Structure 1
Amino acid sequence: MPDRSVTTLPKAHLHLHFTGSLRITSLRDLAIKHHVHLPEALLADWPPTLSARDERGWFRFQRLYDAARACVKDESDLRRLVREAAEDDVAEGSRWLEIQVDPTSYAAGLGGITPALEIVLDEARAASADLPIGVGVIVAASRLKHPMDARALARLAARYAGDQPGEVVGFGLSNDERRGVTTDFAHAFEIARKSGLAAMPHSGELLGPDAVNETLGSLQPTRLGHGVRSVESRSVLNRVVDSGVALEVCPGSNVALGVYSTPADVPLRPLVDAGATIALGADDPLLFGNRLADQYRSAREDHGFTDAELAALARSSIDASLAPADVRKAAYADIDSWSASAPGDLPQRDVHDA
């Protein structure tokens, strides 16, 4: 009997970086438009071979990301990126997308961080009105910058806080988690929390359970970006589960960056068995070459998840989301319908993006 298609399984997508969401074809279009020379790894050699196990590997990853970001310059580029990210998620069954952006990366050509963020929010609202998906925005600070910059971004995010499509739903902290001092960003997260924003810092991918423990204590997260290496300490994993902090697990990222050697090594099953709330995410499809549905395929093919368990993962992603109540209610109902449908009545084979 055929399996149900993971692309028709309703789900939420909670870990997607702004430039990293670009289609490779769109990136190449934008490079031509702005006369930007792309590295060969984003041309003939795509997707690139990556690693982040040492500083050199991370530098290469960051260099490619920066090259892509240099192609996103004007208002139409930002709008195209948001719109296409939403369209791609719709095609993979996502009902709610939380896209993560650092507006300082695009501010230079748009008059500052405020207009840059407002463009992203406006297009998120428009895409949500036009497509069967809601798009919320996470404003993310960078660990590579001064904590005062993070405070400025937290104050900006607070001005647009809300729980509807086209509003800022959370505040994050991204980039190489081996850089910066986590506790130095506590004040920024306090500013965000006071405005009602959820906290979703990265932690526990490149560093182990001690980093997760520190992040839990100092930043009081709602979710953790990644968090997979909490499995290396039973006490830390218990703390994650007991505190109800959801984990945005991105298997494609974990393997591409060399955290785990193969998809089967990603500790998805131990995390689920421990009772963690899991939301699968694609992280940076532009650089990793796999999207949201591929993470669910990996759960099935590499970890032996049944259709019932995949449906539970999808529900878990909705549980962990900041989606409005009506979006959540509809998604839960449609997940139940997916589970109740006979596999033969659904597409028998998933179609991968060309």
Structure 2
Amino acid sequence: MSEDGPGAGPGRRPLTALPKAHLHLHFTGSMRVSSVRDLAEDHGLRLPASLGADYPPRFTAADERGWFRFQRLYDAARAVVQGEADMRRIVREASLDDAAEGSRWLEIQVDPTSYAPFVGGITPALEIVLDEAARVSGEPGAVPVAVVVAASRMRHPLEARTLARLAARYAGDGPGTVVGFGLSNDERRGVTEEFAPAFGIARRAGLALVPHAGELLGADAVRATLGALTPDRLGHGVRAVEDPAVLGAVVEAGVALEVCPGSNVSLGVFDGAADVPLRTLLSAGATVALGADDPLIFDTRLLAQYETARAVHGLDDTELAALARSSFAASRAPSDVRRAAEAGIDAWLAAAPPS
């Protein structure tokens, strides 16, 4: 959808003007497809057809085969990132692209392990991302960018502890700092409880704890993650609805859910946009922050998630404004950014919708 599509029209305020916080965006997955192609050409690499002439990719199921295809494309995109200039380009373009859609705050998630071989280690890799985030955050037409360091469930939990200690060294509360610690990749891999020591390190450093759970696995995975990691937010978490007691525990604990409808549908977690349980989550009192996850792979950005909430789930402008407020409430945005966003949301609602 676009602002000219079914999500907009007479009597509906433009969603690009609604201030939003974007809390679920992966570093590699944030890339423009044009940038992936440029970098592949620069480094003499061949891309899969799904990132070339057959773009965008299409997925059919959330089973092992569907996830494998997603991971293969993600790895192919990550392989074109081979140095500092490439990494800086990704951060900068992510900031500019989100700003163009009305975001006022971005928390981009990165595992520096993936880029360490090209820049001399995980510390330089993280410092490059943080430095570019700080640099672009002060420029016109850009959104302030903070960083979530993410460990992978596919690697040993001791590696997660190393990343947690690194994240703690750069912990802060503004652009160009680390504000959170996550756990990503296929949630059917690894034992959640074994990552608890890493999350303990991050917790003591004051970082937001933001593991993935409740997308490829159901409510039991959400329950296990709540018990083992005591998160502040959950990446996805949508399948908590499969058990009212688990959803109640999420709400009672005040755990925010980073809901990414576009990726849920693309991976076959839900058959269509109308099946994503956004209304159920909101009715239960859950704090929801919409996210785009991996726009490169799923060909859908943050603005489109708000348009879907309007056009498919029937949220009116007051409800959409509340959703935007929730995204800032769940974020680690500094107080001045939050105040400005709240004022902007109020102004958006106060303005007369187009006739």
Band the TM-score falls in, shorter-chain normalisation: over 0.9
Q: Which residue of 1 aligns with 2:7?
A: none
2:54 pairs with 1:45: yes
2:328 pairs, out of 311, 314, 318, with: 318
Contact 1:51 1:61 in 2 (8 A): no
Cα distance in 2 between the residues matched to 1:30 and 1:113: 21
Q: Is the 1:144–1:179 contact (alpha carbons within 8 Å) kept by the matching residues of 2?
A: yes
- How far the C-alpha of 1:199 sits from its partner, in A, is 0.3
Partner letter of residue 311 of structure 2?
E
Map Cα deviations across residues 55-101 of structure 1 (whole Å, 9 max, x no partner): 11111110000000000111110000000000000001000000000
18, 23, 27: which is aligned to 1:18? 27
Aligned partner of 1:196 in structure 2 is: 206
* Letter aligned with residue 101 of structure 1: V
1:82 aligned onto 2:59: no
Considering only aligned residues, what root-mean-square deviation do their CA atoms show, in Å?
0.9
* 1:30 corresponds to 2:45: no
Check conservation: 1:250, 1:280, Cα contact below 8 A: yes
Q: Which residue of 2 aligns with 1:120?
A: 129
Q: Percent identity?
A: 68
Partner Cα separation in structure 1 for residue 206 and residue 320 of structure 2: 31
**Within 2, Cα distance between the matches of 1:320 and 1:196?**
15
Q: 2:175 aligns with which of 159, 165, 168?
A: 165
SS in 1 for 2:56: coil
Question: Where in structure 2 are the equivalents of 1:69-218 lying within 5 Å?
Answer: 69-131=78-140, 132-218=142-228
What's the counterpart of residue 299 of structure 1?
309
Match of 1:59 in 2: 68
Give the Cα–Cα distance (whole angstroms) in 2 for the partners of residues 310 and 302 of structure 1: 13
Q: Distance in 1 between matches of 2:114 and 2:338?
A: 32
Q: CA deviation at 1:44?
A: 1.3
Q: Which amino acid aligns with 1:124?
A: A
Residue by residue, what CA displacement relative to the aligned partner does 1:10-62 show, whole Å, maximum 9, x if unpaired? 01000000000000111101110111100001111111012452211111110
Does residue 241 of the first structure (1) align with residue 251 of the second (2)?
A: yes
Is 1:333 the equivalent of 2:340? Answer: no
- TM-score, structure 2 normalization: 0.96
Q: Which runs of 5+ in 2 are unaligned?
A: 1-9
Query: Cα gap change, 1:262/1:66 in structure 2, threshold over 3 Å: closer, same or farther?
Result: same
1:305-326 Cα distance to aligned partner (Å, 9 max, x none):
1011111100010110000000
AA paired with 2:350? A
Structure 2: distance between partners of 1:212 and 1:297: 27
Find runs of 4+ consecutive structure 1 residues off by over 2 angstroms.
Answer: none
Separation in 2, partners of 1:73, 1:170: 25
SS in structure 1 at match of 2:74? helix
Contact 1:173–1:200 (CA under 8 A) maintained in structure 2: yes
Provide structure 1 residue ranges, at least 5 long, that are not aligned to the other structure. 346-354
Deviations 1:179-236 (A, max 9, x none): 0000010000001111111100000000000000000000110000000000111100
Residues 233 and 186 (structure 1), Cα distance of their counterparts in 2 relative to 1, 3 Å cut: same
Match of 1:231 in 2: 241
For 2:116, what is the secondary structure of its paired residue? coil
In 2: Cα distance, 1:61 partner to 1:2 partner: 39
- Given that 1:253 and 1:282 are in contact with CA atoms closer than 8 Å, whether structure 2 keeps it comes out as yes
Partner of 2:4: none
Provide the C-alpha distance between the structure 1 equivalents of 2:157 and 2:313, rounded to a whole number of angstroms: 39
CA contact (8 A) 1:102 1:140 kept: yes
Paired AA for residue 217 in structure 1:
G
Q: Deviations over 1:115-160 (max 9, x none)?
A: 0000000000001111452111000000000001100000000000
Structure 1: distance between partners of 2:247 and 2:164: 28
For residue 258 of structure 1, what is the aligned residue in structure 2? 268
Per the TM alignment, residue 2 of structure 1 is displaced from its structure 2 partner at its CA by: 3.0
2:18 counterpart residue number: 9
